[in-house]
């Protein structure tokens, strides 16, 4: 890999920030220096990285001098507040939040799908929503065989999508319910243990929530195809970490199951898990801590002549966030 880089991680103590640090280490990213940034709540904390304890500094507009790449993992409000300062200091911002995703001047990138768009950046590159990323890694090889006209997708989204607080709420509520106590919602509106509910974002006038509309709009932008029709239903399920998605695609021509399997088996970032005899298909507990998106249950759509159905699992904290951001940084190298 090319030259070594000075990297800043914004939100280094959060769920995604912690995974970014692990991923930088595991993938042997060419680091010249590493700066850990977080809110004042994390002041005086130290995090272990490559056998060295690094101090966590309080994020400010002056935090980015000498930084080549700033990986933002602290939410949209922090990105809007500090990204411009990072760019002004000479850094390229890779932003994990929703702040810039639909800005026409900002590339929205999944490296396995549209990595070439990195070259178009003007200082900021956006990381897509986790559900969109996981879905598009799985459907891009099919799109390359025959353009996709329509996608119907139902998501089974884990607690990690709401960060460390969401994961803690699932742990706590599950323990409480098993102990005969009531589940007390704090982070989420509804009880989470042994329950599932519509994704906890605002419902728009069209009846779709914000998470679902991200999948619609981001898919078209990443694929450079405004003709793709997407019908999403996003649901929160009591799983700690990995998201699962049931996906049905309608293509311009009929693609056979064998043709689809061959394309998916060769595609980057995918592991095919499709053992019909053993009834073994993608599962969240097997995709946890994995870089690859697991794809399986590949079958003809019985309701549509040119349709295929598949089931997908991906680690929300990795491919859905931290890994995708580090892969973008690797493209910059």
The mean pLDDT value for 145-164 works out to 96
- Residues whose CB falls within 8 Å of the CB of residue 34, separated by 6 or more in sequence, listed in order: 6, 7, 8, 9, 24, 49, 54
Q: Which domains does the chain have, with CATH numbers?
A: 5-128+321-332 (3.40.50.720), 132-316 (3.30.360.10)
pLDDT tens string 289-322: 999 999 999 999 999 999 999 999 999 999 999 9
C-alpha span between 69 and 9 (Å, rounded): 9
* Closest residue by Cα to residue 329 from 14, 75, 5, 13: 5
Q: pTM here?
A: 0.95
Cα 234 to the center of its chain, rounded Å = 14
d(CA 124, CA 84): 9
pLDDT 10s digits, 87-116 = 999 999 999 999 999 999 999 999 999 999
Residue 3: its pLDDT value, please?
86
pLDDT digits (tens, 9 = 90+) for 246-256: 999 999 999 99
Does the pLDDT value for residue 42 go beyond 90?
Answer: no
**Confidence band, pLDDT 50/70/90 cuts, at residue 43:** confident
pLDDT band at 285 (very low <50, low <70, confident <90, very high): very high
pLDDT (tens digit, 9 = 90+) per residue, 180-239?
999 999 999 999 999 999 999 999 999 999 999 999 999 999 999 999 999 999 999 999
234 is catalytic: no
- 243 labelled catalytic: yes
- Structure confidence at residue 44 as a pLDDT band (50, 70, 90): confident
Determine what percent of the chain is predicted with pLDDT higher than 70. 99
What is the number of residues in the chain?
333
| pLDDT at position 1 over 80 | no
| pLDDT the model gives residue 2 | 64
Residues 138/273, Cβ–Cβ less than 8 Å: no
d(CA 249, CA 251): 6
Spatial CA neighbour of 328 closest among 59, 71, 131:
71
- Average confidence score pLDDT of the chain: 96
Q: Which of 73, 130, 234, 313 is catalytic?
A: 130
């Amino acid at each position: 890999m090319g030259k070594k880089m000075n990297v800043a991680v914004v939100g280094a103590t959060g769920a995604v920030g912690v995974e970014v640090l692990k991923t930088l280490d595991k993938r042997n990213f060419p680091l010249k220096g590493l700066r850990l940034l977080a809110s004042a709540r994390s002041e005086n904390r130290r995090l272990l990285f490559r056998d060295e304890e690094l101090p966590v500094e309080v994020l400010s507009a002056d935090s980015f001098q000498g930084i080549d790449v700033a990986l933002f993992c602290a939410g949209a409000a922090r990105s809007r507040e500090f990204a411009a300062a990072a760019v002004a200091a000479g850094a390229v911002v890779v932003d994990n939040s929703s702040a810039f995703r639909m800005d026409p001047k900002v590339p929205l990138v999944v490296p396995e799908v549209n990595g070439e768009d990195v070259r178009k950046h003007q200082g900021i590159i956006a990381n897509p929503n986790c559900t969109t990323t996981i879905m598009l890694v799985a459907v891009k090889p099919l799109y390359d065989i025959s353009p996709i006209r329509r996608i119907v997708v139902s998501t089974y989204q884990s607690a990690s999508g709401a960060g460390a607080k969401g994961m803690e709420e699932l742990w706590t509520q599950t323990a409480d319910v098993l102990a005969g106590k009531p589940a007390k919602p704090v982070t989420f509106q509804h009880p989470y243990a042994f329950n599932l509910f519509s994704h906890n974002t605002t419902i728009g006038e069209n009846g779709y929530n914000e998470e679902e509309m991200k999948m619609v709009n981001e898919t078209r932008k990443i694929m450079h195809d405004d003709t793709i029709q997407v019908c999403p239903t996003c649901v929160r399920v009591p799983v700690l970490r990995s998201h699962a998605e049931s996906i049905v695609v309608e293509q311009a021509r009929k693609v056979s199951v064998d043709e689809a399997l061959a394309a998916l088996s060769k595609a980057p970032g995918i592991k095919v898990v499709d053992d019909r005899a053993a009834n073994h298909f993608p599962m969240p507990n097997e995709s946890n801590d994995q870089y690859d998106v697991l794809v399986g249950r590949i079958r003809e759509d019985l309701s549509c002549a040119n349709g295929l159905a598949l089931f997908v699992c991906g680690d929300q904290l990795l491919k859905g966030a931290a890994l995708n951001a580090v892969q973008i940084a690797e493209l910059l190298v």
